[in-house]
Structure 1
Amino acid sequence: MVDQFISLVNPEREIQPFVVNLTGINSNMLKNAPKFYEVAKRIIEITEDCVIVAHNSEFDYRILRTEFKRLGFPYKRKTLCTVLLSKTLIPDQPSYSLGKLTRALGIPVSDRHRANGDAIATVKLFKMLLAKDVKKVIVQDAIVVEPTFKMEPSLKQILNNLPNSTGVYYIHNVNGEIIYIGKSKNIKNRLSQHFTNANSKSKKIQLQTATVTYDATGNELIALLKESQEIKSNKPILNRALRRTIFTHALYSFIDDDGYINLKIDKADGRKNAITTFSTRNSAKQFLFKAVEDFNLCQKLCGLYPSKTSCFNYSLKQCEGACIKEEAVEVYNERVNKLIEKNSYNNTNMAIVDRGREIDERSVVLIKNGVFVGLGYVNLNYQITNTSVLESLITPMENNRDAQHIIQSYLRRNKNLKIILFN
């Protein structure tokens, strides 16, 4: 649930000149504003069972507690400081003031030094920090503290609070520990299946679930990459023994005795340099048949038509004769290399841009020198094209073979993705 409360407060004293210069708020503007005791009840209601997040939260929390103490109320809340979190999760920034940090990260800020503008900027910064917190230390710590999670809610109540959107979900036990991580295009529907299925894993989930948290990702690529990385990082007890790989087969190339580049589908082997990978042999064969058609390749040299003479397509005049050495090696190999370049991002610097979590937001997956670097979200085009800003915004991720497979598979299935190439 999202709620909002914005109000000036009459401090019942004159505003000091440096505060007027900093905020633009003067004593005359506050004459008709409510006094603190008049908004105190609303503050209690809106922060009940919540964690207070602020930039330099120690200052804001101290002010709140002081004012409530004057009213004789023992105000106590859990707090999180985005200054401290930023120093841990976004190191080596020249400054951690809200203005300079948000400017360095390309976070737009309006009404600087006014509560609403600073609060919105802090929310955007905190969302970025949550995304960078791969081990979910922030969320798990908050869940242990929040009193609402100490009472065991019914599974139906949990479902009511989940969205019908794409993302990664985290199932927690009563201690706040993550016991299962999954991803779905519809989080609520997927959790409904977990809570109603009768298989062994679902029954364990039903017995141990205390609450569910989630990260909306905006698109399936980000969800797949986050799920893969966070299962490895958190090792939840109810996830299957960590899958060694999410692909079984790969496409390889080799040069035959006549100099032609041959393609071959084989079982995935980490010791070999694959062009791209596949979840099944059948999906690999379907891809290669389509590639033969799209790039006018030879079935025999692609391992799809065993023959001592010409391939089947040659008889249909759909092959230029590389199978019987009629076509020049250089001409044939040029087309094979185009296929390889299209389906492999080796030595490539690029950003894959997709839908974000909100209408005005885009997700970015960053590849540098053919290595998957990480992912993040942007609101402005210059955040994508400015690589130094982009690298500050992204959550660093491990460049393992699972991540490479996820990215290559997604690129094959989604032809209209925006790809930005860098030098």
Structure 2
Amino acid sequence: MYAILDIETTGGKYNEEGITEIAIYKFDGHNIVDQFSSLVNPEKPIQPFVVNLTGINNEMLRHAPKFYEVAKRIIEITDGCIMVAHNALFDNRILTTEFDRLGYQFEKETLCTVELAKKLIPDMPSYSLGKLVRSLGIPLSDRHRAQGDAKATVALFKMLLAKDSSKEIITETLRKESKQKLEPKLLDIIEKTPSETGVYYMHNEVGNVIYLGKSKNIKKRLTQHFTSDNRKSKKIQLEVKSVTFEKTGSELIALLKESEEIKQTKPLFNKGLRRTLFSHQLTSFVDENGYINLKIEKADARKKAITTFSNYQQAKSTLFKITEENQLCQKLTGLYTSSKHCFNYTIKECYGACINKEPATEYNNRVKAFLEKYSYENQNMLIIDRGREIDERSVILIENGVYKGYGFYNLNYQINNPEILKSIIIPMQNNRDAQHIIQSYLRRNKVLKTVNLSTNTVN
């Protein structure tokens, strides 16, 4: 199965481009079986030459979904597929970079129609998509728009399959797909693991943990480890002799256990995860006019952080969302540089704090409401979520803004007294990484409920 795609971007510096449009056709070698296309708000301006080339401008994308809003659909439609694109190296790099910003590992085998065409249709005057398909009599509408270019790539790939008398493409496809076949030893290991959320531990022949990780589906994640052909995976495949696991039910607990236990056990192949999990933080200050401003800064333990982020792009994307949801001013959140009013004021989505038109007390009330929601400092609360079994719940305890640990309780006992819940807590270390994991998770995911211990109310 193939996922044939085309991506349009903002242009700009290498690895700083943003996606403006994407189109994907799922192709079984004969017919299109699924498709997806969408404009994407890149949350950054488009280079003028790109606007002239594609016809896509900033105004067209203002209300388009952001990448994180279409990411799930992209994962679904490309699942189990080899990615095909005209200049696949570029499209794969752009997608991988966007998913990296979300903290998701997106890895796909690729086939490039430029390289295939050069092998199967030599001596063409040009292998650019537009000139190539015109030379081959393949219709192309909406050049430099994702849907038109992707549809033309489907037709080109279908022609290349037909011209491939020696079956090079099929052979290459089977070679790539054969990576998913497992050695009996690894297959036996996977067979003994559950398709559930938790933490898994890979052991060498003397029982030492050489790698540990977390997953919402342990069996699926191990299959990815054991079928990947990257350098680290190959080393793990040679050294692993057994795998143990702990079910957590809650992904948040799995994340917290993974972070703490990597620091404690320092497994050989977890070197990258021993570093701090975040690079940027959100802080606040009051300006000379009495307005509370928000600001993205590089992580600094000496400064009080509202919340933290894995990278700058994640911080900026989240701050745009915070600004929009809380009706804040883009100038006062550092997203719009101007000596006058912000852009949102011109379209009546800002009440004028940027030009001192909105009273500071009214504006600050909205900022304070956001701060109370996103920062759990000085908060006492329980985070209740799914347990390891259907009749169980997990609980995470925060006391005075300090992460104390986690535990599990059985629903049959109908425990609803926070003091009893606190007695079952397994102590864990509180550190900035743990705070980052909890804040980031609550920012992006829903839990079953949170219980405020100060007022004993459920949110």
What's the TM-score, normalizing by structure 1?
0.62
Pairing partner for 2:185 from 147, 154, 169: 154
Deviation for aligned residue 1:306: 0.5
Pairing partner for 2:375 from 344, 351, 356: 344
Deviation for aligned residue 1:169: 0.2
Deviation for aligned residue 1:242: 4.6
Q: Does 1:414 align with 2:445?
A: yes
**Residues 253-332 of structure 1: matches in 2 within 5 Å?**
253-332=284-363
**CA distance 1:324–1:381, change in 2 (3 Å):** farther
Task: Note the aligned Cα RMSD (angstroms).
Answer: 1.8
**Contact 2:404–2:430 under 8 Å retained in 1:** yes
What letter is aligned with 1:307?
Answer: S
Higher strand share: 2
Separation in structure 2 between the aligned mates of residue 171 and residue 416 of structure 1, nearest angstrom = 29
What's 1:205 paired with? 236
Separation in structure 1 between the aligned mates of residue 185 and residue 230 of structure 2, nearest angstrom = 20
Deviation for aligned residue 1:241: 4.8
What letter is aligned with 1:363?
Answer: S
Deviation for aligned residue 1:171: 0.6
**Contact 1:169–1:215 under 8 Å retained in 2:** yes
What letter is aligned with 1:353?
Answer: I
What's 1:184 paired with? 215
Deviation for aligned residue 1:295: 1.3
Separation in structure 1 between the aligned mates of residue 255 and residue 349 of structure 2, nearest angstrom = 38
Deviation for aligned residue 1:324: 1.0
What letter is aligned with 1:285?
Answer: K
Separation in structure 1 between the aligned mates of residue 414 and residue 259 of structure 2, nearest angstrom = 26
What letter is aligned with 1:287?
Answer: T
Q: Does 1:402 align with 2:402?
A: no
Deviation for aligned residue 1:364: 0.5
Deviation for aligned residue 1:200: 2.1
2:221 aligned counterpart, secondary structure: helix
What's 2:283 paired with? 252
Q: Identify which of structures 1 and 2 has the higher relative contact order when contacts are C-alpha pairs closer than 8 Å and 6+ apart.
A: 1
Deviation for aligned residue 1:402: 0.9
Any stretches of 5+ residues in structure 2 without a counterpart?
Answer: 1-183, 455-459
**Contact 1:235–1:242 under 8 Å retained in 2:** no
What's 2:264 paired with? 233
Q: What are the superposed Cα offsets for residues 284-316 of structure 1, whole Å, 9 maximum, x if unpaired?
A: 222211222221111100101101011111122
Deviation for aligned residue 1:219: 2.3
Separation in structure 2 between the aligned mates of residue 165 and residue 185 of structure 1, nearest angstrom = 6
**Contact 2:386–2:448 under 8 Å retained in 1:** no
What letter is aligned with 2:439?
Answer: Q
**Residues 56-75 of structure 1: matches in 2 within 5 Å?**
none
Separation in structure 2 between the aligned mates of residue 351 and residue 407 of structure 1, nearest angstrom = 12
**Contact 1:383–1:389 under 8 Å retained in 2:** no
**Contact 1:155–1:195 under 8 Å retained in 2:** yes
Deviation for aligned residue 1:211: 0.7
What's 1:165 paired with? 196
Identical-pair percentage: 62
Deviation for aligned residue 1:237: 1.7
1:154 aligned counterpart, secondary structure: helix
What's 2:398 paired with? 367
2:249 aligned counterpart, secondary structure: coil
**CA distance 1:381–1:278, change in 2 (3 Å):** farther
**Contact 1:164–1:189 under 8 Å retained in 2:** yes
Any stretches of 5+ residues in structure 1 without a counterpart?
Answer: 1-152
Separation in structure 1 between the aligned mates of residue 326 and residue 273 of structure 2, nearest angstrom = 38
What letter is aligned with 1:156?
Answer: L
Deviation for aligned residue 1:208: 1.4
Q: What are the superposed Cα offsets for residues 372-411 of structure 1, whole Å, 9 maximum, x if unpaired?
A: 1101111148775434432331111111111111111111
Structure showing greater Rg: 1
Aligned residue pairs: how many? 272
What's 2:364 paired with? 333
What's 2:248 paired with? 217
What's 1:140 paired with? none
Separation in structure 2 between the aligned mates of residue 295 and residue 382 of structure 1, nearest angstrom = 40
- Worse-matched range after superposition: 259-268 or 380-389: 380-389
Separation in structure 1 between the aligned mates of residue 367 and residue 413 of structure 2, nearest angstrom = 36
What letter is aligned with 2:242?
Answer: T
What's the TM-score, normalizing by structure 2?
0.57
Deviation for aligned residue 1:194: 1.7
What's 2:421 paired with? 390
What letter is aligned with 1:225?
Answer: L
